[in-house]
Amino acid sequence: MPAFFDLLEAETQTQVKVVLGHFMFVYIHPYMDGNGRMGRFLMNAMMASGGYPWTIIPVEKRSEYMSALEAASVEQDIQAFTDFLALLLEEQDQV
Q: Decide if 22 is catalytic.
A: no
pLDDT for res 37: 84
Identified catalytic residue from 8, 24, 29, 80: 29
Amino acid in position 19: V
User: pLDDT tens digit string along 31-69?
Assistant: 666 677 888 898 999 999 999 999 999 999 999 999 999
Give the span between the Cα atoms of 95 and 10, in whole angstroms: 34
Domains and CATH numbers, the chain: 2-93 (1.10.3290.10)
Give the span between the Cα atoms of 92 and 73, in whole angstroms: 26
User: pLDDT tens digit string along 9-36?
Assistant: 888 898 999 988 888 888 877 666 667 7
